[in-house]
């Protein structure tokens, strides 16, 4: 079986920088485990799971299938999308404990140490190829799901994302408005504020943000996205209207003082001399050649 190509951070950042310099449309959209969960729930009509996702992400039940369609459209048009394949091909640090060949789902429930990465999630993410295909996502330009953190590493590549956005005009879609003074240290920043989880993003922000994007997509050098499931749609709109965007997800929270996700603590750390960049731990450096 042909090995899936996963583009390295250096290559992606070079393409992004070229897009900024030459005013070309660009989007990097991370589907993540949340996106895979949503897509599969639609595909198998798991109404119980869709109710939970909809309440958290602010997705009206009447908009679920519209969102599913837009995922397929905008992910297919993106410059890069992520794949969980990195967690299964030994080219990157592990996210799951690997089961024995004979392990059952019940065995997995018993041996997993963290609720977040339980057996159900392992088997869900192993199905990613079928889920992407059945969701009509036609795009094989894959990046690492942890690109948001990897792009901010210092000492891995000649440049990181901070170097690229320094002194640029940056628009951010996030519910972390307090990130503005932090980013203002390096760039001209504008915050398009949205509500957080469980606060009905569609009702409160979707129309106004969509309208703003259509009028201003190409105005900043780059957009940084942190808007959950709707962020994938906003990212698609930005590229469609001539702009450039990168999905940064939980990075906004880390920039505002929240802890690095536990799954990453063994591999990366926040640099003491900056609020924005990260370094590789001794364990993380073992995977440097794959980043």
pLDDT tens string 150-173: 999 999 999 999 999 999 999 999
At a CB cut-off of 8 Å and minimum separation 6, what does 263 contact?
95, 114, 116, 117
Q: Which residues pair with 192 in a beta bridge?
A: 173
Q: What is the largest CA-CA distance in the chain?
A: 56
Q: 187 pLDDT exceeds 50?
A: yes
pLDDT the model gives residue 274: 65
Residue 104 lies in a domain: yes
Query: Mean pLDDT over residues 200-227, rounded?
Result: 97
CA gap 5, 107 in Å, rounded? 32
Residue 1 lies in a domain: no
Residue 47 lies in a domain: yes
For the chain, what is the radius of gyration of the CA atoms? 19
pLDDT band at residue 272 using 50, 70 and 90 as cut-offs: confident
pLDDT the model gives residue 97: 57
Lookup: tokens for 135: 């969701």
Residue 106 lies in a domain: yes
Q: Is 87 exposed, middle or buried (0-12, 13-18, 19+ CB in 10 A)?
A: buried
Nearest to 247 by CA among 154, 160, 173: 173
Q: 234 pLDDT exceeds 60?
A: yes
Q: 109 pLDDT exceeds 60?
A: no
Residue 232 lies in a domain: yes
Tracing tokens 């469980």 back to the chain, one arrives at 198
Query: Mean pLDDT over residues 177-204, rounded?
Result: 95
pLDDT the model gives residue 112: 44
Lateral strand order in the sheet of 80-82: 142-143, 80-82, 26-29, 244-247, 222-225, 169-174, 188-193
Whole-model pTM? 0.91
The Cβ of residue 211 has, within 10 Å, a number of other Cβ atoms equal to 10
Residue 4 lies in a domain: no
Residue 111 lies in a domain: yes
Rounding to the nearest 10 degrees, give the CA dihedral for residues 223, 225, 231, 232.
70
Tally of domains within the chain: 1
Tracing tokens 């001209």 back to the chain, one arrives at 188
Residue 56 lies in a domain: yes
pLDDT the model gives residue 95: 79
Domain that holds residue 285: 9-290
Query: Mean pLDDT over residues 42-67, rounded?
Result: 96
Q: Is 67 exposed, middle or buried (0-12, 13-18, 19+ CB in 10 A)?
A: buried
pLDDT band at residue 93 using 50, 70 and 90 as cut-offs: confident
CA gap 86, 9 in Å, rounded? 13
At a CB cut-off of 8 Å and minimum separation 6, what does 57 contact?
38, 197, 201, 228, 229, 230
């Amino acid at each position: 079986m042909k090995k899936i190509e996963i583009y390295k951070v250096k290559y992606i950042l070079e393409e992004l920088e070229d897009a900024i310099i030459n005013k070309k449309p660009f989007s990097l959209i991370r589907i993540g485990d949340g996106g895979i969960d949503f897509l599969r729930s639609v595909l198998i009509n798991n109404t119980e799971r869709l109710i939970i996702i909809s309440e958290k992400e602010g997705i009206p039940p009447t908009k679920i299938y519209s969102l599913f369609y837009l995922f397929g459209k905008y992910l297919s048009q993106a410059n890069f999308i992520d794949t969980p394949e990195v967690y299964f091909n030994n080219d990157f640090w592990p996210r799951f404990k690997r089961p024995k060949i004979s392990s059952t789902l019940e065995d997995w429930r018993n041996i997993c140490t963290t609720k977040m990465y339980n057996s159900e999630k392992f088997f869900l993410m192993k199905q990613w190829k079928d889920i992407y295909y059945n969701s009509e996502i036609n795009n094989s330009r894959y990046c690492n799901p942890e690109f948001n953190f990897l792009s901010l590493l210092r000492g891995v590549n000649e440049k990181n994302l901070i170097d690229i956005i320094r002194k640029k005009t940056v628009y951010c879609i996030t519910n972390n408005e307090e990130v503005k003074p932090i980013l203002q240290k390096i760039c001209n920043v504008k915050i398009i504020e949205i509500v957080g989880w469980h606060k009905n993003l569609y009702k409160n922000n979707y129309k106004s943000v969509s309208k703003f994007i259509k009028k201003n997509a190409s105005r900043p050098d780059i957009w940084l996205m942190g808007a959950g499931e709707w962020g994938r749609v906003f990212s698609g709109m930005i590229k469609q209207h001539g702009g450039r965007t990168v999905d940064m997800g939980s990075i906004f929270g880390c920039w505002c003082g929240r802890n690095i996700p536990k799954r990453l603590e063994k591999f990366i750390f926040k640099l003491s001399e900056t609020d924005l960049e990260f370094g590789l731990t001794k364990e993380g450096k073992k995977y440097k050649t794959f980043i």
